[in-house]
Structure 1
Amino acid sequence: MIAFFDRGDKMGKFELKSYLEEREIYILNEKVSKTIDKNWESIFTQIENIVLFQSKVNSYKENLLPRIGGSIGREINNYNSQIILLGRYLKEIENKSHLNLIDFYLIKNGEYLLNKGKKALNNLYSSNYRSLIERSMKNYEVCLGRVDENNLIVSRDNKIFIGTIKYLTYNIKEHDIYSYIKKIKRKDTNIDIEEIINFYVTKSNLEEDSKEYLRSLSAYPNEEFKIMERYILGKLNLKEEEIIESLYKARKMDSRCLLI
């Protein structure tokens, strides 16, 4: 979410709009109308669009973009919370006298899911993650948040058009590619996440640390963890059978994750 300061919303939005338009980035405030074709060519083209956006918006390191907030580490902290939550629930199941369908699902799959999540985050923390944070803060790096073809397009003359900047925040710039990876893995298509990461890192002239950051996050089974979190917190108003069906669908999506 955008974090506003206290100089008035209208003034802040105008400043941000002006800042972006100086860099030929235009806010439409509506869904971008474009036919989406999830083939390899279109995916690589969109990655190039993301790289272009990042180069334009981050090209003046001395300027602090007006009126947006920071989200560095927010999603990773949420993943840590999900792991703790699931770990506690698995221990509770051991002492339950009446088990439901989700409990039986977790008896079979819970430890595997938990270990997969832990391994992904351990790999992240053992990489040079801290240096990416320092670089991001030093350079005032910005993430759009929604970088799919329904929110970000580029014209032939390299002008950028954005549907909404609602999720624009200061963040490690690699995180926009992770957001895109999560988006496309929900589609029923064969994707090579490793190739996507390598293409982005090369196009952005980044180094091995960036690759490991993206590989680690892309190995985290976020779809299945998301459903389990909502179930444990009582936020799923579904029948047990429907939850099980959702978990298997999520597991299929997460099967497209990287293996590390």
Structure 2
Amino acid sequence: MLKVTEEKNIVIVSLDRPDVRNSFHPEMIQKITETFVGLSARKDLRSIVLSGEGSVFCAGADLNWMKDMAKYTLEQNQQDSEKLFQMFEAIWACPVPVIGVVQGAAFGGALGLMAVCDHVIVQEKTQLCFSEVKIGLVPAVISAFILRKCTAGVMLPLMLSGRVFSGQEVLGSGLVHEVASEAHMAQALGHTISFYQEAAPEALRETKNLVRNVMSSDWSDHQKETTRVIAERRVSSEGQEGLKCFFEKKNPWWKNQAGSQ
């Protein structure tokens, strides 16, 4: 579910469930968390590349996991969402520069993975989407990380609409730093890595830690609020309706209502 390879002082962490578009579930979330906690302790690394095997970077939450969470109690959903938060935080807090390489699609929680990277390169035809509202949920946990880097004025309309957008639309917002053609993705990645290779290793770590510490005031409040909101939404009438209709391939009531107007 996770492929980790290493060359000199560069580690490539690749989501490895291409048969399900690299969607993540509790086991994968735990594995990603443990991997980045371990990599954080290494002082020999200059950069970490976060990528996805196959044609799609990450489709967000695994469908079977979504079926399970629809049956969870409020307390179970709270615990579940806290583990998701901890995964994002493990990447966010990693002192080694993390480069995200995104192709094909990044939906829902996958945008959270992008947000916790320090530099994100997106293939030009990639589809991005905050898909949560379409199924009665809220991009709650990922919002704490996305809004640390991006302005609400740019992200809120995308979160509210749930529409598909491109990397070019949010280039320079903090979520996407480069857009490249498929043929030039490797070149763009190599170019970014080369900058980190030329920097002093301790300076890289200290710079990243400095910025994170400055940005992290009242961080515990973010965790409490975002995990509470998503847990409550999962057991709400809209959340239950949205998840049920999603798997039955039917429109939830709010979509039918919109279509009748």
- TM-score category, normalised to shorter length: under 0.3
Which of the two has higher C-alpha Rg? 1
Bigger fraction of residues in strand: 2
Higher relative contact order (Cα pairs below 8 Å, separated by 6+ residues)? 1
TM-score between both structures, scaled by the size of structure 2: 0.24
TM-score by length of 1: 0.24
